[in-house]
Amino acid sequence: MNELINGFPVLTVTGLTQGAIYALVALGYTLVYGVLRLINFAHSDVFMIGTFGAIWTWSAFGFDANSPRPSVGGALGLIALAIVVAAILCGIFAMLVEVTAYRPLRARNAPPLAFLITAIGASFVLSEGMAAFTNRRQFGVPAMLPTDPLFSIGSWQVTPLQLTTIAVAILMMVALDWFVQRTKFGRGIRAVAQDANTAALMGVNKNRVILLVFLIGGLMAGVAAVLSDMKAASTRFNVGFLIGLKAFAAAVLGGIGNLRGAALGGILLGLAENYGSAVFGTNFRDFIGFLVLILLLMFRPTGLLGESLGRARA
């Protein structure tokens, strides 16, 4: 308990940083579930592809795990470029999963179990495909941002990486919420989520909306992948497994199908893990995160916010 009290500022900042990554990945899960009532287990491996996309981008400019840190301006430019590349790459793979794996099942009115099995299969195809491509190696990530605290408020110290991660995540979450709530495409997403058949009668193209949902989820995963790369300093073919599970847990924690709930769930999960590990030890970090989820669902099965995407207010 003393570690929690004494280290509360540091634990809070690091928890918010990790929670922001969970939240970005969780948005992809909650978007797809809100529209299709489908748990897209391949989403975690789309995220994994994004982590490699960032490394390949930096490698193209001559940066690897042993390279000296670039200037701040150069680092920000490289990070922005990696985010664009990783987001595009994840978006493309997310759409490929939808078109090749899920759309044929919808055309044949397949039962929910078929979608579940296909989602798991697609996840293994992506992860094992990358494993074969990379010979199951672990790849280091070049250091981009300084590790020294950028500023301090009392005992609260924030590093450039933590500030960048939190700021980028908040920007993406706000942009997505605005897009879904205020744009024509967002109204189409909410219409299909509420009643796909009625939306089709009103002229909404269901397949295009679903493809857009997968694209947006992939873009969010790509941004999260770059931030995760810089935080973890390494990646490999199975890096998405645990983060994917925790991001899904975050989506359920906040209310599956609810964008703001997914964001809230990710932040709370990151904080709960950090606070819990300070009290019980780092070996219990993953245990605590899922324990919090189970306890919450026992008393509030729909999650913290519990409002579906289709019924979200404009």
* CATH number of the domain bearing residue 261: 1.10.3470
Range of the domain at 116: 2-134+157-299
pLDDT at 285: 87
* Distance between CA atoms of residues 141 and 229, nearest Å: 6
Using DSSP, state whether 60 is helix, strand or coil: helix
DSSP 102: I
Asked whether the beta carbons of 264 and 20 are under 8 A apart, the reply is no
Instruction: Flag whether 59 is in a domain.
Output: yes
Q: What is the pLDDT along the chain (314 residues), one digit of tens a residue?
A: 677 777 888 899 999 999 999 999 999 999 999 999 899 999 999 999 999 999 999 999 999 999 999 998 999 999 999 999 999 999 999 999 999 999 999 999 999 999 999 999 999 999 999 999 999 999 999 999 988 888 877 777 899 999 999 999 999 999 999 999 999 999 999 999 998 889 988 889 999 999 999 999 999 999 999 999 999 999 999 999 999 999 999 999 999 889 999 999 999 999 999 999 888 888 888 888 888 888 888 888 888 887 666 554 33
Instruction: Flag whether 141 is in a domain.
Output: no
* Distance between CA atoms of residues 181 and 184, nearest Å: 9
Q: Give the pLDDT confidence of 76-116 residue by residue, as tens digits.
A: 999 999 999 999 999 999 999 999 999 999 999 999 999 99
Asked whether the beta carbons of 285 and 273 are under 8 A apart, the reply is yes
Instruction: Flag whether 148 is in a domain.
Output: no
Dihedral, CA atoms, 31, 34, 37, 40, nearest 10 degrees?
Answer: 10
* Distance between CA atoms of residues 253 and 133, nearest Å: 35
Instruction: Flag whether 231 is in a domain.
Output: yes
Instruction: Flag whether 145 is in a domain.
Output: no
* Distance between CA atoms of residues 33 and 40, nearest Å: 8
Longest CA–CA separation in the chain, Å: 61
DSSP 140: E
pLDDT at 148: 83
Instruction: Flag whether 150 is in a domain.
Output: no
DSSP H helices in the chain? 2-6, 8-36, 43-60, 72-97, 103-107, 112-134, 160-182, 184-194, 196-201, 206-232, 240-254, 259-280, 285-299
Amino acid, single-letter form, for residue 84: V
Structural domain count, the chain: 1
Long-range contacts from 150-157, C-beta under 8 angstroms, 24+ separation: 154/9, 155/9, 155/10, 156/9, 156/10, 156/12, 156/13, 157/9, 157/10, 157/13
Instruction: Flag whether 232 is in a domain.
Output: yes
Instruction: Flag whether 214 is in a domain.
Output: yes
